[in-house]
Amino acid sequence: MRIVVVGATGTIGRAVVEALSARHETIPVSHSRGEHQVDLASKESIERLFQAIGPFDALVSAAGQAAFKPLQDLTDEDFQLSLTNKLMGQVNLVRIGLHHINEGGSFTLTSGVLAREPMPGSAAVSLVNSALEGFAGAAALERPRNIRVNVVSPPWVSETLTAMGMDPAGGMPADQVAQAYVQSVEGQDSGKVIDARTFAPAANAAD
């Protein structure tokens, strides 16, 4: 398959590219590096990306910005950033990408554990993540040209926690998180929220 990976230079995106590259042609896309770049907040940028790439079989989005701060500190601009970038940016990857993806292809978006397990400071992030999961469930009902749409919900990633100076034991390694994206791309599910934690070895051992 020819697979577009948006956010390919991020922690999860790099792991997804590595996991898929052995069996598929991957096309890395980042915000500001490499041959293919995209600004998720701009429909025009997304349209230019698809024109440059041409037909593809699957798209994985492991990108999107959202504001994380206490509710009383969240500004209109913080909410607008979250809605324009992580939410509508990924929604537009699907809306615009439908005109370029091959029949039977798939879109895999990224929400996050904060959709269902919110914490202080996550009001904007939880809002966006929940909306993405609702969008995927509804969009998958229509299945134009048998196109599948799923969302992966990753937990905190160990490498990200380390970079933040926090205990990585509270997270999940990126290469394990990437297996949820592989399942979405190579499987047959549509309209699913795939909890990446089900791919952790400890979770599998407990089954």
Cβ atoms of 74 and 26 within 8 Å: the answer is no
Q: What percent of the chain has pLDDT over 90?
A: 86
Decide: 125 and 112 in contact? Cβ < 8 Å: yes
Give the Cα separation of 36 and 53 in Å (integer). 8
pLDDT on residue 202: 59
Q: What is the pLDDT of residues 64-78, one digit of tens each?
A: 999 999 999 999 999
199 HSE (CA, 13 A, CB side):
20
Domain-by-domain residue ranges, the chain?
A: 2-202
Higher pLDDT, 166 or 84: 84
Mean pLDDT to the nearest integer, 29-35: 91
Mean of the pLDDT values across residues 62-91?
97
Residue 159: its pLDDT value, please? 85
Does the structure show a pLDDT above 60 at 111? yes
User: What confidence score (pLDDT) does residue 166 get?
Assistant: 82
Topology of domain 2-202, per CATH? Rossmann fold (3.40.50)
The pLDDT value recorded for residue 14 is 96
User: 104: which DSSP letter?
Assistant: E
Whole-number mean pLDDT of the chain? 94
Closest CA to 190 of 136, 125, 154: 136
Predicted pLDDT at 1: 97
Tokens 């922690």 correspond to what residue? 11
pLDDT band at residue 98, thresholds of 50, 70 and 90? very high
pLDDT beyond 70 at 207: no
Closest CA to 94 of 112, 81, 75, 108: 108
Q: Which parts of the chain fold into alpha helices (H)?
A: 11-21, 43-53, 76-82, 88-97, 123-139, 158-163, 174-186, 201-206
Q: Is residue 168 scored above 90 in pLDDT?
A: no
Reported as a single tens digit per residue, the pLDDT across 9-29 is 999 999 999 999 999 999 999
